[in-house]
Structure 1
Amino acid sequence: MADIKREADTEVIHIEKAHPISDGIEVLAENEDEPQSPYQLGWKTLLVLFTLSMGNVCAALSNTTNTTIKFQAATLARSSSDPALASWIVNGSFLVVLAMGPIFGSLSDRLGKKWFLVGGCFIGVVGSIVSGSAHKIQDVIGGNIMTGFANAGRILSISCIQEIMPNKLRPWAIEVSQAMASVFVVLGTFTAAAFVRADTGGAGGWRWAYYFNGFIYGFTAVAVSVTYFPPRPLLGRHQFLQDIFSQVDYFNIFFMSGSFASLIIGLTWGGSTYGWNSSHVTAPLSVGCVGLLVFGIYEAFVIKEGIFDHRLFQTMNFPILLFVCTIDGMLLLGVNVLYSQEIFDLFSQNAVRIAVILSPYLITSTFGCIPAGWIMASTKSYRVLLVSALFWCSLFTGLMGLIDSSRLSWAYAFSTLFGIGTAVTTTIPIVALALSIPSYLIGTAATISVSCRALGGIIGITIFTAIYNNKYAAYVGPIANDPTAPFVWITVAVLVMINGIVACFLKSVAPMMNKHVESAPEKSEVRQAQLA
């Protein structure tokens, strides 16, 4: 076993040496360490791209049920405390993604990603059925926790998509995947709204939105099973299972998740269930802050291959892009809850009309992915585009604070323009991050980035829900003059602006946008070498 482990370590060292550093970014020359015959894309790659993109679709669809939280709470609430639980319908899923994503990512870089994807999708089927058949809010939360496990495995599709494509075509592949996911978001939002509107007996038409999602999870599980057959990952080729499983820092992952959970509990309880000066609020907030401080010190100075493997920090791109992903989570995931609830209070309580008002944002964020990926693939540049998009989002999220019940046209205009920016912030960081780290850690990096996006969603949703429960309920009828909604949008605008300033320090990834394919699906010398 010792000889095998030494052989594996030697192979990883060889890879690192084969990627000389240039401008702080690892570079693999186009023909270096690759068979000399050119690698040709074919129908297998396109088919696998489609099925893996359905994995991305599953997670996007799971968020569309969040636009019906108001209706879920109205159907299931049995006591005055139940509405305070509504934020956990979303946060329960995101917290599991935050906890399990890094575990699945680290293991997938050694065991392979396929069965994490397939298994996750099957769990998603069960979770969707549990949520759809719920009789109380706690049941929905339980089902969404299962969906969180599903999405923790499903997010590996993002790294799989990039692995099957030559590096220079990764922006194009992610653009296609994100556009597919966004189309299904629009479809899922209107489908959920139609189910709610069609419910005339008060039983909860939103339930069918969960069942619809379960069908998509099941289809994806079967599709990935029969089309995706990747070579064994490099890091796991010469290691035993017990060695692979021992390399994951499980305790620290759960310690981090517990600290975040403590913070979220404090924010959720504060001002609604308990007063802000109550020990029920101050205690979990203090425990969460101290826990995260200890976690950071441990990761930085005690362990080198923990959750944040030190090999990921060869440049500042990785931490900067993680920050970008966190704020993007507030934008992308938080808006589904923030904006849909604001529409409910300001403009309409009709589910279909809520979806209509949301649609300009959803549509521009859908089709904006396409030019964003094309520009990066054509120019091999991304920093100016990303920074510009962040400042653009900052401007129009700030202007969203001007919306009141008499300004529906403003809501349409600002959300449409805001959606253009989020299309860039959703697509570009994923590709840039994967090109900024060692290719054999792409699963780890991708899951950490998505976990950061989930964290951003948790923070945004929790803060907004706390403000809503503390302030909105004090108003009767439309909240046209409520000062808390502008405060939320302005806070988001300031964070996005800070994000844009930080993104100015990103480095170029142009040297890595070459012909290298990490996991070749087509029959070729490249695939044969990876199967050896």
Structure 2
Amino acid sequence: MSAAAKSEVQGQHHVETALDVPINPGSVSFQEEQDVQYKLGWRSALAITALALANCCAALTNTSNTTIRFQVASVGGANLASWIGNASFLLTLCFGPVFGFLGDRLGKKWFMVGGAAVGVVGACIAGTAHTAQRIVAGQVLSGVANAGCIVSVAASQEITPNKVRPWVMGYTQTLASSAALLGTYCAGAFVKYHTWRWSYYLNAFAYFIAGTSVALTYFPPPPTLRRQETLGNIFSGLDYIGIFLLSGSLASLVIGLTWGGTTYAWSSGQVVAATLVVGCLGLVGLAVFEMFVKTDGLLDHRLFANRNFPILLFVCTIDGMLLLGVNVLYAQEIASLFTTDAVRIAVILSPYLITSLFGCLPAGYLMARTKSYRTMLVAALIWCSLFTGLMALVTPNRLRWTYAFSTLFGIGTAVTTVIPVVALALSVPSFLLGTAGTLRISCRALGDIVGITIFTAIHSNKYAIGVRRKALLAKVLGALANPAVAPPVALEQIRPALSKATVGAVLEAVSHAQTEAWKWVWVAVSCLVAVNAVVACFANPVKERMNHHVESALEHSETRMSQMAVKKTAS
């Protein structure tokens, strides 16, 4: 048999076995072609680095949110402050699964390159903005860009053999954590020494470098589903209803969670009926539609071939509440208890960010070496629960405790950032990595928004209770909060009560109320992470999947030839 004929036969075998997974949640085995001779080379190394840079864009974009209060102080529009951060999350959350679903069928490259191009435009719009509305508009484009860039996580997993995926994910997350650390320091320095606008310009530069790198280094074979179907069949079979229900439902939930308690009261019709109820009903409708009508849609039944997929989605959702939510709220706690200096805030955040960074590679190494993850994941979650709980002991006089506890729970978050991602990728068919991976990221983003909402509500409630317990503090804050009276007039009205001694008492009371409020936030975080540890105990092992299979070969080899030579079987 000729080499070309042999390659074609091998390619046909690859498609048949890769797609031989029944659309039946009861099926637990994935038959995938393996090539023990396939070796990673410089092409893969360059592509993996380029894809990691694309993933860095989302991490770097989030660091601009640490300067939101300086942005609204500069351009006004404080009522839109929450949307400066949430606009990006909303678009990423809604479009991420759509781009992942389409990427599995059409190819992932141009979603990433196109996303990066949109990101350059969005970052420049936000950086040159003179109104809060324009910043939000730029963040909307950045959210679409991040939805494309996060497809890179699945792409990097596809181009490496299954057994090497933990290493690759550790490397990818190390670069992303480095970007987060760099962005946090740069954002603080820009605010202090120049302008917050340069934080967005840095984002634009990162998008440009990432998009160019992916365009020049990433040349994969057509995805398995694309090789099996014609474009006409792919577009006619797309899950349009599922895309609409998922995007609309998630958008409604995020809008409701953003409005609630700020723009509108939680009990208002705008929040309860118009957004939260509609969003929840939409998700229920999506579940019913995907369960009984569209078996190969956004919630492809083959993703549920074992229980790992829903379990690890839950784990990633709570991890989003821990990792992303705590990133935002921890910075706020530092500002309220220790310092308002932007650079000093970044310094206090550093121990947590640094241990999160340097823990990613060891976590990937241990999983690759042991081919085991469940014990390590559960132990890391228990570790995080312990030290986030100890953060409740932090007071303005215990800065060293803050450094110690945040350093230690940062070690745990390094594990929870890497391990669930790889375990989930090894628990689903490789030709659905884009769909599975972007659903995971949307769950993390939703966890972030829900977490911030819950933790902010806890803080506000406990702070209000602490204020009411201090009669003088309540009187001062009540006067200043009166919209009918200007602050100078309000202060003049309560001047008789404000001796030098009482001013100190007021400041001490504010500090005490803030400390108590943040304590209960950390208690809530600790309890949620503990629940996550219990859920993770029920995950299945993935040792059998850590084999030589490579879904999308970049290196010149028989595997790549077979993947490139497959004939479409559909007319």
Deviation (angstroms), 1:465: 4.4
CA contact (8 A) 1:24 1:314 kept: yes
CA contact (8 A) 2:377 2:415 kept: yes
Per the alignment, residue 498 of structure 2 pairs with none
* CA spacing shift, 1:253–1:17, aligned 2, 3 Å: closer
Deviation (angstroms), 1:101: 1.1
Deviation (angstroms), 1:359: 0.3
Deviation (angstroms), 1:297: 2.7
Q: Does 1:429 align with 2:404?
A: no
- Which residue of 183, 196, 214 maps to 2:204? 214
Paired residue type of 1:399:
L
Per the alignment, residue 163 of structure 1 pairs with 158
Paired residue type of 1:481:
A
Q: Does 1:492 align with 2:525?
A: yes
* Deviation digits for residues 95-139 of structure 1 (CA, Å, limit 9, x no counterpart): 111111111111111111111111111111111111111222222
Q: Does 1:514 align with 2:537?
A: no
Give matches, 1:22-61, under 5 Å.
25-28=28-31, 33-34=33-34, 38-61=37-60
- Please give the alpha-carbon distance, in whole angstroms, between the structure 2 residues aligned to 1:324 and 1:427: 12
- Please give the alpha-carbon distance, in whole angstroms, between the structure 1 residues aligned to 2:74 and 2:181: 24
Per the alignment, residue 3 of structure 1 pairs with none
Paired residue type of 1:274:
Y
Q: Does 1:387 align with 2:390?
A: no
Task: Give the TM-score normalised by structure 1.
Answer: 0.90
Deviation (angstroms), 1:263: 3.0
CA contact (8 A) 2:92 2:143 kept: yes
- Please give the alpha-carbon distance, in whole angstroms, between the structure 2 residues aligned to 1:47 and 1:275: 51
Deviation (angstroms), 1:338: 0.7
Per the alignment, residue 273 of structure 1 pairs with 263
* CA spacing shift, 1:523–1:375, aligned 2, 3 Å: same
Paired residue type of 1:531:
M
- Please give the alpha-carbon distance, in whole angstroms, between the structure 1 residues aligned to 2:231 and 2:456: 43
- Please give the alpha-carbon distance, in whole angstroms, between the structure 1 residues aligned to 2:422 and 2:460: 38
* CA spacing shift, 1:213–1:239, aligned 2, 3 Å: same
Deviation (angstroms), 1:247: 2.9
- Which residue of 406, 409, 412 maps to 1:415? 406
CA contact (8 A) 2:187 2:199 kept: yes
- Please give the alpha-carbon distance, in whole angstroms, between the structure 1 residues aligned to 2:526 and 2:340: 27
- Please give the alpha-carbon distance, in whole angstroms, between the structure 1 residues aligned to 2:412 and 2:60: 21
- Please give the alpha-carbon distance, in whole angstroms, between the structure 1 residues aligned to 2:118 and 2:411: 33
* Deviation digits for residues 226-279 of structure 1 (CA, Å, limit 9, x no counterpart): 111000111011433232233332333332333333333333333333333333
Per the alignment, residue 327 of structure 1 pairs with 318
Per the alignment, residue 450 of structure 2 pairs with 459
Give matches, 1:246-395, under 5 Å.
246-283=236-273, 284-395=275-386
Deviation (angstroms), 1:290: 2.7
Deviation (angstroms), 1:291: 2.7
- Which residue of 86, 90, 109 maps to 1:91? 86
Per the alignment, residue 484 of structure 2 pairs with none
- Please give the alpha-carbon distance, in whole angstroms, between the structure 1 residues aligned to 2:342 and 2:212: 32
Deviation (angstroms), 1:402: 2.4
Per the alignment, residue 525 of structure 1 pairs with 558
* CA spacing shift, 1:73–1:403, aligned 2, 3 Å: farther
* Deviation digits for residues 396-453 of structure 1 (CA, Å, limit 9, x no counterpart): 2222222222221121111111111110111011111111111111111111111111
CA contact (8 A) 1:128 1:147 kept: yes
* Deviation digits for residues 18-53 of structure 1 (CA, Å, limit 9, x no counterpart): 89x9x975355xxx7456x71122111111111111
Paired residue type of 2:189:
A
- Please give the alpha-carbon distance, in whole angstroms, between the structure 1 residues aligned to 2:12 and 2:233: 12
Deviation (angstroms), 1:180: 1.1
- Please give the alpha-carbon distance, in whole angstroms, between the structure 2 residues aligned to 1:289 and 1:223: 40
- Which residue of 446, 464, 476 maps to 2:437? 446
- Please give the alpha-carbon distance, in whole angstroms, between the structure 2 residues aligned to 1:41 and 1:285: 48
* CA spacing shift, 1:495–1:253, aligned 2, 3 Å: farther
- Please give the alpha-carbon distance, in whole angstroms, between the structure 2 residues aligned to 1:259 and 1:164: 33
* CA spacing shift, 1:248–1:86, aligned 2, 3 Å: farther
- Please give the alpha-carbon distance, in whole angstroms, between the structure 2 residues aligned to 1:496 and 1:24: 31
Identity of aligned residues (%): 57
- Please give the alpha-carbon distance, in whole angstroms, between the structure 2 residues aligned to 1:275 and 1:447: 32
CA contact (8 A) 2:463 2:513 kept: no
- Please give the alpha-carbon distance, in whole angstroms, between the structure 1 residues aligned to 2:378 and 2:252: 33
* CA spacing shift, 1:471–1:134, aligned 2, 3 Å: farther
Of the structure 1 ranges 125-134 and 260-269, higher mean CA displacement relative to structure 2 is found in 260-269
Per the alignment, residue 235 of structure 2 pairs with 245
* CA spacing shift, 1:273–1:101, aligned 2, 3 Å: closer
Larger radius of gyration: 2
- Please give the alpha-carbon distance, in whole angstroms, between the structure 2 residues aligned to 1:364 and 1:424: 11
- Please give the alpha-carbon distance, in whole angstroms, between the structure 2 residues aligned to 1:369 and 1:14: 33
- Please give the alpha-carbon distance, in whole angstroms, between the structure 1 residues aligned to 2:535 and 2:123: 38
* CA spacing shift, 1:327–1:125, aligned 2, 3 Å: same
Which segments of 5 or more consecutive residues in structure 2 lack a partner in the other structure?
1-10, 468-476, 478-505, 566-571
Task: Give the TM-score normalised by structure 2.
Answer: 0.84
SS at 2:512's partner residue?
coil
CA contact (8 A) 2:30 2:429 kept: no
Per the alignment, residue 175 of structure 1 pairs with 170
Deviation (angstroms), 1:294: 2.7
Deviation (angstroms), 1:171: 0.3
* CA spacing shift, 1:102–1:266, aligned 2, 3 Å: closer
CA contact (8 A) 2:459 2:520 kept: no
- Please give the alpha-carbon distance, in whole angstroms, between the structure 2 residues aligned to 1:307 and 1:193: 40
* CA spacing shift, 1:466–1:74, aligned 2, 3 Å: farther
* CA spacing shift, 1:524–1:361, aligned 2, 3 Å: same
- Please give the alpha-carbon distance, in whole angstroms, between the structure 1 residues aligned to 2:348 and 2:49: 30
- Please give the alpha-carbon distance, in whole angstroms, between the structure 2 residues aligned to 1:48 and 1:157: 10
- Please give the alpha-carbon distance, in whole angstroms, between the structure 2 residues aligned to 1:385 and 1:24: 27
Per the alignment, residue 480 of structure 1 pairs with 512
- Please give the alpha-carbon distance, in whole angstroms, between the structure 1 residues aligned to 2:544 and 2:148: 30
- Which residue of 103, 108, 112 maps to 2:103? 108
Paired residue type of 2:18:
I
- Please give the alpha-carbon distance, in whole angstroms, between the structure 2 residues aligned to 1:358 and 1:336: 9
Paired residue type of 2:215:
S
* Deviation digits for residues 502-531 of structure 1 (CA, Å, limit 9, x no counterpart): 110111100111111111111111111111
* CA spacing shift, 1:505–1:471, aligned 2, 3 Å: closer
Deviation (angstroms), 1:461: 2.4
- Please give the alpha-carbon distance, in whole angstroms, between the structure 1 residues aligned to 2:268 and 2:20: 56
Of the structure 1 ranges 238-247 and 130-139, higher mean CA displacement relative to structure 2 is found in 238-247
Deviation (angstroms), 1:13: 5.2
SS at 2:339's partner residue?
coil
Deviation (angstroms), 1:10: 10
Residue correspondences, number: 510
Paired residue type of 2:179:
F
Deviation (angstroms), 1:386: 0.5
Paired residue type of 2:513:
N
CA contact (8 A) 2:14 2:563 kept: no
- Please give the alpha-carbon distance, in whole angstroms, between the structure 1 residues aligned to 2:13 and 2:186: 53
Which segments of 5 or more consecutive residues in structure 1 lack a partner in the other structure?
1-7, 200-204
